[in-house]
Chain A
């Protein structure tokens, strides 16, 4: 398999697009056949569609890894597909409001809440699906685990195109409001590990600044407030290699985290001061 086949060439694809011609290559069919062997396929299609697909792909051969491709340090897969995924994605496609019944983190149960679902989010870390939706009465952005949703029905009253656009704009601006930023500096003696550090932060929106006089890299990370804890765990993951330089709350949390960790090990504050004095 050569992923750089000329059949994938961008000018060719654009021309086909213009003439409205669709095609599927042998490589794509092989990949699909490989993935249809996964248990997720059962939940992704109706039994009839799955049967049809398997029949259509009979001449294709799956990709052969013969044990030479290994994945390490991943998360155990809990549910890549969830039964609600298909109906909910259709609600999103149809730009429909939904009446949602679900239970919250706090344990409270909510019935028939009117909302506009706008994305289905999969957490690569928690291995779970969340419905991102906009609560039409409270005007709050909601994120609900699919597992906690008891029912999701299309609300009979359709949303007009104007209203939909207006709601989308509200969602956008609320998402922006929820964003926070933190600047992380790469401790210079670890510049050789820059690649690893940049990879670790690559799933986030960011800007990298480089001060060539001081040879210092700073990453301005931007993320949703609710993700601060995950960001902190990522920063702890990297340990001494990086340092938060501007977000006071995260700075404080790192200090607390280190102090509490030391307390677990029975190290007292006095002992730390003693160490610092000895080094000085």
Chain B
């Protein structure tokens, strides 16, 4: 079954933050495969959410969404794209009712009947009043998402807000918890729930603390903040994997110009989508730290192991009964492990040994070259070393994925083997030298 998907919003935001201002409305819409009208509607909706959650000042309301989301390093205290996960739409009556219920239970534990009375007296006049069944359903939902709990075992049950976590901690402990959530959400994956927790803690602390803007003490250099857009799919994919489910989705290779296709209700305007319908058995999710991107590795009937960029996956769906037996699943997993054992990222090409000489920065200087090789060189090892240089050796599947890393060291690295990689590097440096020739 497909859940309500936020594909359009995700693709929209990704294009907005990655291309920051490059496209006109029409160009933007064309590249997303939507109409300008849909573009305007989506933009307005997202802008509303940002303005509400960030409580923008009136003079800021005229601002473009792109400007509201413009990345500024030193001010990047809050995760800019978190608002996407606040986009689930609910009716005004429901948000009013749920917030009233929570506020009432926060004051004291109450029964369903008492809560009904409370709602009926406190709901704004223009909104329709709930009945007992609605209240019971609300309580069931709130209990299920863990924000309330039954207080005691005596009927009729009393319900209380389940925030012992906040109430049992001292101010200083809450600060430590806020910081821990901040640091871990920014440096680890997954992070959505961590960001949500941090956001809640920040507001909670701000209610009791002076100088609450001074809570924003941390910044993270070279952080791929847009990675949380793809995290949206992480949990449904994990769920499918854990339940050995086949999934199907519409795949847009990131190399193709369009990245989404609207489903037009009017068949006259329906156009061919550039996407490709794919069915696969998901096996593993890979997060690539080099670019801050996510991949799905899956098994496909005729092709065997297949790799997909999660940013290109839309309309992910599954049939409840369509599962794979454990034995073949484990076989696929073993094949995957065998074939990706030496993948720098996900390449399953022929395994080769790369040997490269790295040159130390010179006597007296801190050896940042060696530090970096040790930090980023994955399972490679240093086999020889003298005062000027060292030799690093690694077995990898293909050389395409490791090459950018090697190139980033500039003249501090010389590839020794394999010969074809050495020749390619020479060729590339020649081209770069020509390209940067002084005029």
Number of chain B residues whose Cβ lies closer than 8 Å to a Cβ of chain A = 142
A29/B165 in contact, CB under 8 A: yes
Tell me, rounded to whole Å, the shortest Cβ–Cβ distance linking A189 to chain B.
12
B21 contacts which chain A residues (CB < 8 A)?
Answer: 207-209
In B344-403, which residues have CB < 8 Å from any A CB?
Answer: 344-346, 359, 366, 374-376, 378, 401
Q: Which of B79-87, B125-133, B268-276, B320-328 contacts A (4 or more CB under 8 A)?
A: B79-87
Interface centre among B72, B165, B189 (most CB of A within 10 A): B165
Contact of B433 among A41, A69, A124, A262 (CB under 8 A): A262
B425 contacts which chain A residues (CB < 8 A)?
Answer: 261, 265
CA distance A279 to B409 in the complex (A): 28
B359 contacts which chain A residues (CB < 8 A)?
Answer: 264
Q: Does B332 touch A at the CB level, under 8 Å?
A: no
Q: Does B135 touch A at the CB level, under 8 Å?
A: no
Interface residues on A, range: 35 or more
A26/B189 in contact, CB under 8 A: no
B214/A236 in contact, CB under 8 A: no
B103/A16 in contact, CB under 8 A: yes
6 pairs of A and B residues whose beta carbons are closest in the complex: A26-B146, A260-B411, A31-B193, A15-B99, A258-B433, A74-B289
A41 contacts which chain B residues (CB < 8 A)?
Answer: 180
B102/A275 in contact, CB under 8 A: no
Q: Does A53 touch B at the CB level, under 8 Å?
A: yes
Q: Does B194 touch A at the CB level, under 8 Å?
A: yes
Q: Does B118 touch A at the CB level, under 8 Å?
A: no
CA distance A9 to B84 in the complex (A): 10
B378 contacts which chain A residues (CB < 8 A)?
Answer: 72-73
- The answer to whether residues A80 and B187 also contact, given A86-B176, A203-B223 and a CB cut-off of 8 A, is yes
A-B contact pairs, 12 of them (CB 8 A): A13-B53, A15-B99, A68-B241, A68-B283, A72-B286, A80-B187, A93-B175, A124-B187, A202-B292, A239-B432, A252-B438, A254-B432
A213-229 to B contact mask, C-beta < 8 Å, 1/0:
00001000000000000
CA distance A127 to B166 in the complex (A): 30
Q: Does A138 touch B at the CB level, under 8 Å?
A: no
In B141-175, which residues have CB < 8 Å from any A CB?
Answer: 141-142, 145-147, 161-166, 168-169, 173, 175
Q: How many A-B residue pairs have CB under 8 A?
A: 391
B219/A6 in contact, CB under 8 A: no
List 16 additional contacts besides A26-B147, A72-B346, A261-B429; criterion CB under 8 Å.
Answer: A10-B49, A25-B146, A38-B188, A40-B184, A49-B176, A57-B165, A80-B187, A89-B175, A93-B211, A124-B187, A233-B408, A240-B435, A258-B429, A261-B413, A265-B425, A267-B430
CA distance A38 to B181 in the complex (A): 12
A65 contacts which chain B residues (CB < 8 A)?
Answer: 238
Chain A, Cβ-Cβ closest to B293 = A199
Q: Does B90 touch A at the CB level, under 8 Å?
A: yes
A21/B83 in contact, CB under 8 A: no
B215/A22 in contact, CB under 8 A: no
B179/A210 in contact, CB under 8 A: no
- The answer to whether residues A72 and B410 also contact, given A10-B53, A93-B175 and a CB cut-off of 8 A, is no
Tell me, rounded to whole Å, the shortest Cβ–Cβ distance linking B190 to chain A.
7
Chain B, Cβ-Cβ closest to A233 = B408
B189 contacts which chain A residues (CB < 8 A)?
Answer: 69, 71
In B252-271, which residues have CB < 8 Å from any A CB?
Answer: 254-255
CA distance A28 to B421 in the complex (A): 47
A267 contacts which chain B residues (CB < 8 A)?
Answer: 426, 429-430
A44 contacts which chain B residues (CB < 8 A)?
Answer: 176, 179-180, 183
CA distance A23 to B189 in the complex (A): 23
Q: Does B304 touch A at the CB level, under 8 Å?
A: no
